[in-house]
């Protein structure tokens, strides 16, 4: 089964495709937000709202382990996650969809692993699944790479922080991408992110963005995001083999 972890802008998929069933999954880490099983392009797709119903849970309080474990328990092997981000590059404009190829983690208080009872070191040289990334990139109008800077939130970053993140190679900044991607790797799930750029981060644009510009950028992102998700789901091979699914074979334990 394919999983979609929805952030801002992805909810529209719920109105476009038939609902097969809704499930609340009990895990060792808590009960997941309601998962909607949809029929998308003749495929079963499990949609989970990262922030819970009504976007009610802030980034630093999300139960990332419960969300990933719930998807794992119902048989999800391939995950497409959507993340709203700010741009650190004037050439990456609001409205852009960026497919990150790496991340730098500046979160502080989040549980980063399922393995509290033993030592497991998974490889994160290339944390996002290249197979899923290529499906999102090929033939689509997206920015094909960029380093995602993960911050704790819920406050936005200072201008000084943004300039530092830019100086170390960051392209976009957000609050929800980590530890989600790491936990998915620990469950040997293929995981790729679609970063929807809603605004320039603090101090990047020489002029302040207006509210209407941000709203227009988000509308553009939402339309393009749903189109990208559905077209990629259609071409995802259910029998696709990938090294992500064997990651623990090479983990240092």
CA distance 155 to 175: 9
DSSP codes of every residue in 187-222: TT-EEEEEEEEEEEPTTTSSSPPPHHHHHHHHHHHH
**pLDDT at residue 206 in the model:** 80
CA distance 85 to 150: 10
| Strand, coil or helix: 64 | helix
Q: Is the pLDDT of residue 97 over 80?
A: yes
pLDDT tens-digit readout, 11-59:
888 889 999 999 999 999 999 999 999 999 889 999 999 999 888 899 9
| CATH match of 2-250 with 3.40.50.720 | no
Domain ranges of the chain: 2-250
pLDDT tens-digit readout, 105-142:
999 999 999 999 999 999 999 999 999 999 999 999 99
The angle that helices 211-235 and 130-137 make with each other, rounded to 10 degrees, is 110
**pLDDT at residue 14 in the model:** 87
**pLDDT at residue 239 in the model:** 86
- Listed in order, strand segments (DSSP E) in the chain are 2-6, 19-23, 26-27, 30-31, 35-40, 43-49, 78-87, 97-98, 102-106, 147-151, 170-174, 190-200
**pLDDT at residue 218 in the model:** 78
pLDDT band with cut points at 50, 70 and 90 for residue 251: confident
- For range 228-232, the mean pLDDT: 94
């Amino acid at each position: 089964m394919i999983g979609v972890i929805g952030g801002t802008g992805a909810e529209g998929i719920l109105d476009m495709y038939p609902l097969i069933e809704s499930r609340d999954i009990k895990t060792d880490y808590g009960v997941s937000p309601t998962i909607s099983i949809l029929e998308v392009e003749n495929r079963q797709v499990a949609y989970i709202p990262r922030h819970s119903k009504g976007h009610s849970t802030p980034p630093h309080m999300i139960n990332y382990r419960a969300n990933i474990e719930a998807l794992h328990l119902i048989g999800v092997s391939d995950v497409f996650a959507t993340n709203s981000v700010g741009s650190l590059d004037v050439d990456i404009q609001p409205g852009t969809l960026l497919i990150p190829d790496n991340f730098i983690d500046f979160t502080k208080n989040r549980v980063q692993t399922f393995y509290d009872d033993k030592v497991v070191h998974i490889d994160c040289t290339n944390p996002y699944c290249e197979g899923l990334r290529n499906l999102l990139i090929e033939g689509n109008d997206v920015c094909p790479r960029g380093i995602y800077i993960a911050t704790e939130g819920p406050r936005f970053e200072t201008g000084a922080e943004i300039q530092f993140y830019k100086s170390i190679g960051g392209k976009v900044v957000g609050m929800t991408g980590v530890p989600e991607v790491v936990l998915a790797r620990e469950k040997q799930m293929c995981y790729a992110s679609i970063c929807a750029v809603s605004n320039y981060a603090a101090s990047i644009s020489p002029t302040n963005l207006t509210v209407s510009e941000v709203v227009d950028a988000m509308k553009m992102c939402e339309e393009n995001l749903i189109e990208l998700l559905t077209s990629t789901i259609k071409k995802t091979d259910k029998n696709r083999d990938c090294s992500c699914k064997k990651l623990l074979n090479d983990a240092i334990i």
